[in-house]
Copies of this chain bind each other. A is one copy, B any other.
């Protein structure tokens, strides 16, 4: 069919031995994380109360372009990496486009997404530090699953606060986490002060990610040899996800593929930031002028309609403050929003790159996303996660533009995961009952009103 195979697999020897740190080459660094009480840049010691020592080190590292992947993490990576870079021959044919389309597919492991890349690293550092217990929150469940897999591998106890309504609607996700030995507690629970307080006030609440984060943090702080870990939004998570971009870059160089644009979906930004990392470095250092495009849901339009300011990471306002694009930590996307990517904020590096004009962003509506997901599933054979289908849709749009202009562009996108646990959303789409929702300016205004007041610095 062509010199380039359907699926490009690097050999195990070619799995990158280092993560890449975009911050090291950025002309202007992102602004520091701040303590919400004092508004001072947060100290290493403050962060280490909550997070693993080495992860704090990575979070604050602005100088090292390369950070070595520990041997044991590299061995873990060999269980599920390298992931394939796939030439979308069948999709190209269906779209009748002169464009060449490639996707980097992160859904071949049991967690079903890229999340395992960071879980493998985070739990390793926790183990190295002598910790015996970790806590986290999970919404849709991909992160909880990935972390449970990593905790089983390194033999560490895990407590997952799972948004109650999610644990009820997705009992099978919960069952996967439990099969890997994770303890799942529907949140809000009566096991924490914050949970009990919320239950007293709202006994019938289905919970929220913000509440689950607060419970996971409280438990981490109160438990011996325990820390809190999270699956997106923060810079150290992006760092681990740079394995996606590095493998992609190496495969492209090996096969002479020169992408004109790189496209990814954005929630907290870790999959997107990891995919684009080496390409951002090439762009910042003047070696490339490719387009980099982030795609978000129109119902949670963080970059396209949010504000660039300091905000909390959770609705409970218990985290340090991050300078980022945000819709306000009280913003919750409409309940009919099916496809993940619900975080009100955006990773600080991605936010800064967007602010400085190095990235484009676009917002898309969910019925269009599921249209694209269905075309992709039927042509390429892979059932995509709704999140990942945001990137598919943008890639298809660009390929259709090429059909119209006759341009032979090379389009690369990140397929972050599979949709096996998202069939309720596909059923809603298949039955014609799925509706779109775009928040009004007034809706967004309500979210912005909850933003912390930033003092003159």
- State whether A175 and B420 are in contact (beta carbons under 8 Å apart), knowing that A9-B9, A79-B381, A381-B149 are contacts in the complex: no
CB pair B430–A175 under 8 Å, yes or no, is yes
Please give the number of chain A residues whose Cβ is less than 8 angstroms from any Cβ of chain B in the complex: 43
Question: A5 interface residue, CB < 8 Å from B?
Answer: yes
Q: Specify how many copies of this chain sit in the oligomer.
A: 2
Query: Could you tell me if B424 and A180 are in contact, using CB atoms closer than 8 angstroms?
Result: no
A11 located at the interface, meaning its Cβ lies under 8 Å from any Cβ of chain B in the complex:
yes
Query: Closest chain B residue to A384 by CB distance?
Result: B110
Cβ of A427 and Cβ of B109 under 8 Å apart? no
Inter-subunit contact B427/A171 (CB<8 Å): yes
- Chain A facing B: main interface SS: helix
Give the CA-CA distance A85 to B423 in the complex, in Å. Answer: 30
Q: Does residue A260 face the partner (Cβ distance < 8 Å to B)?
A: no
A383 touches B12 (CB 8 A): no
Q: How far, in whole Å, are A149 and B380 apart by their CA atoms in the complex?
A: 10
Cα(A110)–Cα(B112), bound, Å: 11
Interface residues of A in 150-198 (CB under 8 A from B): 152-153, 171-172, 175-176, 178-181
Asked if A1 is at the interface (CB within 8 A of a chain B CB), the reply is yes
Per-residue interface assignment for chain A, residues 352 to 363, with 1 indicating a CB less than 8 Å from any chain B CB and 0 otherwise: 000000000000
Q: Closest CB of chain B to A281's CB: distance in Å?
A: 29
Within 8 Å of chain B (Cβ to Cβ): is A388?
no
- A435 at interface by CB-CB < 8 Å: no
* A381 / chain B contacts, CB cutoff of 8 Å: 79-80, 109-110, 149, 153
- Whether B90 lies near A152 (C-beta < 8 A) is no
9 contacts between A and B (CB under 8 A): A79-B380, A153-B378, A153-B379, A171-B427, A175-B430, A176-B383, A179-B430, A180-B377, A180-B378
User: Which 4 pairs of residues, A with B, have the shortest CB-CB distance?
Assistant: A172-B423, A152-B378, A175-B423, A420-B420
Which residues in A have some Cβ–Cβ distance to B below 8 Å? Answer: 1, 5-7, 9, 11-12, 75, 78-80, 90, 108-110, 112, 149, 152-153, 171-172, 175-176, 178-181, 374, 377-383, 418, 420-421, 423-424, 426-427, 430
